[in-house]
Amino acid sequence: MNESFSILDKHVAVFGAGRSGRAAAALALREGAVVSMWDQGGETAFKGIPTGVEIHPNFSEADVENFSAHLIVISPGIDTYSPLMQAFSAKVPLIGETEFASRYFEGGIIGITGTNGKTTTTELVSRILKQAGLGGTPCGNYGAPLSEVILSSEVPAAVALELSSFQLETIEDLRPRVSIWLNFAPDHMDRYPSVESYKQAKLNIFKNQTDEDTVVVRYGEEIGTPVSKVLTFSTETREADFYSDGETITRGGRVILDLVAETSLRGLHNAENAMAAMAACIAYGIDPSLISPALQGYAPPQHRCELIRTLDGVEYLNDSKATNIHALQCALRSQNRPVVLIAGGKDKGLDYSPILTTVGRQAISAVTFGQIARPLAELFNGSVETTAVGTLEEAIHTARSLAPRGSTILLSPGTSSFDQFTGYEQRGDVFRDFVHQLH
């Protein structure tokens, strides 16, 4: 807890009326602030907000001139790079909800970031912390906002805090005792002015760590030279502190977890997530003997290489959560059967050329759909025979016609879903429904 930080009788302006914003407003009220809430939606967006909060619906740049507050607390979904928020933050200091909440949290933090795998790793860390009697509530970019956790009747001794680049943009004081850096690949280029600015936002996870803290990082990742102790994990080299071949996890050449016998985690990508979670919790001081019991019975979240069904000897996998190129590449790399790939969706301005070798090696054919279908098909055709279609339903039927017995039809879009769906969850649900209708 930051003892020097006080908002008593100060005006805190919360931007965003969603769950994070509401939790931040409630926490600010608890700490004695005068609170206002701002959202570009109409008055209906403010239904159920905490009593005593002044509302500002449909706010715009026209409100900047007369705006005044001591602090802005912003929800992660609001673009800090936008001209609108730049105009407001030019007048008043701005921090994110997670940074704000961290100033009132007295427990330990294991922070998790990376382009892919954050949520699974966060869930694994949470389970291990809970097994150790530390609470381990999953929060941040996944689960509850940290402000909400702090306001709960039983505040946990430690949290598994998933941190997206959006939340890390505004970090000032937040200090995880252990930070996990899973991987990095270009993403969110529709928000960030450059790949480097995206990476710099994520690197803020290390900003306040000291030599008493620990960094857990995928072997070979370029993160500079942390001042903290470093533990590495890998599925490619035994030089890392933790190594997995996808079936077991070893440390110093000794097997410490049998993924096949003791867990439901499958694939190299899940092995990496498990190693990162184990390394972080061991670094936190948790008895390694508690890890296997914590992971037993765990099933990865939906939409992450989720097996929907096997029909006519063909597996149908839902990896709709793959909203960027690195996630698509990881999904392909983890398959051990011939793959008919379904990819496509919104055009986010990403460069797919770095994964063409993986596509050509892992896929026997591909089907693209959505806004990016034709340009992606033209690119993929240099590596694998690719068919462009309009909708996901068409893509499923086309992929089925191309998939021989013993193969896998893999929905791993490699981009976001907002051209045709409300989010990756809806896209995955639609895929699941269509696949179950096949006969």
User: What DSSP string describes 310-333?
Assistant: EETTEEEEE-TT--SHHHHHHHHH
Whether the pLDDT of residue 69 is over 90: the answer is: yes
Q: Is residue 154 part of a domain?
A: yes
> Quick one: pLDDT at residue 62?
93
Residues 295-305: what's their mean pLDDT?
82
- Shared domain for 88 and 149, answered yes or no, is no
- Shared domain for 125 and 268, answered yes or no, is yes
- Shared domain for 277 and 419, answered yes or no, is no
Residues 280-299: what's their mean pLDDT?
93
Whether the pLDDT of residue 235 is over 60: the answer is: yes
Q: Is residue 30 part of a domain?
A: yes
What is the total count of domains within the chain?
A: 3
> Quick one: pLDDT at residue 432?
96
The last residue of a domain, from among 295, 330, 359: 295
Residue 280's SS3 state is helix
The last residue of a domain, from among 273, 295, 317: 295
Query: What's the pLDDT band for 52 if we cut at 50, 70, 90?
Result: very high
For residues 327, 330, 334, 337, the Cα torsion angle rounded to the nearest 10 degrees is 70
- Shared domain for 129 and 241, answered yes or no, is yes
- What CATH number did the domain enclosing 392 receive? 3.90.190.20
Q: Is residue 3 part of a domain?
A: no
Whether the pLDDT of residue 264 is over 80: the answer is: no
- Shared domain for 82 and 220, answered yes or no, is no
Query: What's the pLDDT band for 238 if we cut at 50, 70, 90?
Result: very high
- Shared domain for 318 and 191, answered yes or no, is no
- 249 close to 271: Cβ distance less than 8 angstroms: yes
- What CATH number did the domain enclosing 34 receive? 3.40.50.720
- Shared domain for 73 and 115, answered yes or no, is no
- 382 close to 353: Cβ distance less than 8 angstroms: no
Burial tier of 281 (Cβ tally within 10 Å: 0-12, 13-18, 19+) = buried
In terms of Cα–Cα distance, which of 363, 413, 377, 423 is closest to 392?
A: 413
- pTM of structure: 0.79
Q: Is residue 300 part of a domain?
A: no
Q: Is residue 4 part of a domain?
A: no
Residues 89-103: what's their mean pLDDT?
96
- What CATH number did the domain enclosing 140 receive? 3.40.1190.10
Which 8-state DSSP code applies to residue 50? P
- Shared domain for 134 and 275, answered yes or no, is yes
Q: Is residue 2 part of a domain?
A: no
- Shared domain for 84 and 130, answered yes or no, is no
Question: Taking all residues of the chain, what is their mean pLDDT, rounded to a whole number?
Answer: 93
DSSP H or E run through 248: strand 248-251
- Shared domain for 74 and 111, answered yes or no, is no
> Quick one: pLDDT at residue 3?
63
- Shared domain for 275 and 409, answered yes or no, is no
Whether the pLDDT of residue 186 is over 70: the answer is: no
- Shared domain for 316 and 339, answered yes or no, is yes
Q: How far, in Å, CA of 223 to CA of 231, rounded?
A: 13
Residue 250's domain spans which residues?
106-295
Whether the pLDDT of residue 195 is over 90: the answer is: no
Q: What is the pLDDT of residues 339-364, one digit of tens each?
A: 999 999 999 888 999 999 999 999 99
Residues 132-137: what's their mean pLDDT?
97
The last residue of a domain, from among 60, 78, 99: 99
Whether the pLDDT of residue 213 is over 90: the answer is: yes
Query: What's the pLDDT band for 189 if we cut at 50, 70, 90?
Result: low
Structure tokens belonging to residue 402: 């191309």
- In the chain, % helix, strand, coil (3-state, to 5) comes to 35, 20, 45
> Quick one: pLDDT at residue 187?
65
Which 8-state DSSP code applies to residue 246? S
Residues 210-234: what's their mean pLDDT?
96
429: which residues sit within 8 A by CB, 6+ positions away? none
Q: Considering only residues 276 and 82, tell me which one the structure prediction assigns the higher pLDDT.
A: 276
